[in-house]
Amino acid sequence: MLELQNLYFQVPSDTGATKEIIHDLSLTFDDHTFIAITGPNGGGKSTLAKLIMGIEKPTSGKILFNGQDITDLSITERANLGISFAFQQPVRFKGIKVKDLIALAAGKDVKNPNTCDYLSKVGLCARDYINRDIDASLSGGELKRIEIASIIARNTPLSVFDEPEAGIDLWSFNNLIKVFEEMHEGSDNSLIIISHQERILNIADEIVVVADGTVKARGRKDDILPELLKGTEGCRFYQ
């Protein structure tokens, strides 16, 4: 279980004052749940994901994972506890091959057939990618899919995805939906996905709406999605 207790996050503004990105935000995520977090651009969604992973530290408040206070733990310590994170813009690793990244993610020596399986799940032909370097020769979409394959290989209790659809072509996006469904249905792990995409929101157990740095709504898709489809101007959650 993940608990966010009264989180605040502030950064310096151009004027020298502080700008509040996250304001008194509290959420609880149960085990084996698929939560989609959505909301307007600049509302604090990606910052919230980074706070969960430890990329950013809250100004105040607490983050608990399975009852343990992880607020001051590093990214590595949180990863070792079983939290995975997929960036909106994946990181390039010069000098590391795709097969090596998958092995590192899995935490063991992964045989080629298994590596191929992870890559095929995200729509990549293994023989074309397994020995590729994770560098500038790969497109943003290719990097994104390789990153998601590494998250599948890690198989942690909690995986956080920051806008996984970014840079993904339509065919790959359709495949991605199936990947998330399989990740959720095939294990007891939990998913938190930051997304604007209706198809991702539609397969989640619950939708959380974050705007102005706080939770505006939370509920089942049948209760939340119709209001979201009214758009930024018409949705009462954004008012």
Whether residue 208 is predicted with pLDDT greater than 70 in this model: the reply is: yes
Name, in order, each residue with C-beta under 8 angstroms of 161's C-beta and a sequence gap of 6 or more.
Answer: 85, 86, 148, 151, 191, 192, 193, 194, 195
CA distances from 224 to 11, 131, 202 (A): 30, 44, 10
> What pLDDT score was predicted for residue 204?
95
What is the percentage of the chain residues whose pLDDT exceeds 70? 97
Specify the DSSP element, H or E, that contains 192. strand 190-194
Q: What's the pLDDT band for 31 if we cut at 50, 70, 90? A: very high
Name, in order, each residue with C-beta under 8 angstroms of 10's C-beta and a sequence gap of 6 or more.
Answer: 18, 19, 20, 21, 59
**Averaged pLDDT of the chain:** 89
> What pLDDT score was predicted for residue 171?
67
Whether residue 26 is predicted with pLDDT greater than 70 in this model: the reply is: yes
β-partners of residue 160 are 85, 192
Whether residue 113 is predicted with pLDDT greater than 70 in this model: the reply is: no
> What pLDDT score was predicted for residue 29?
95
Whether residue 186 is predicted with pLDDT greater than 90 in this model: the reply is: no
Q: Which whole number is the average pLDDT over 49-71? A: 97
DSSP 125: -
Distance CA 141, CA 125 (A): 14
Extract the tokens encoding 108: 């063991």
Looking at per-residue confidence, does 53 or 106 come out higher? 53
What is the percentage of the chain residues whose pLDDT exceeds 90? 53
> What pLDDT score was predicted for residue 124?
84
Q: Are strands 158-162 and 190-194 parallel, antiparallel or unpaired?
A: parallel
SS3 7: strand
DSSP 131: T
Distance CA 115, CA 85 (A): 19
> What pLDDT score was predicted for residue 109?
65
Whether residue 168 is predicted with pLDDT greater than 90 in this model: the reply is: no
CATH of 2-85+155-238 given 1.10.3720.10, 3.40.50.300, 3.40.50.2000, 3.90.1150.10: 3.40.50.300
Segment 62-103, tens digit of pLDDT: 999 999 999 999 999 999 999 999 998 877 877 888 888 888
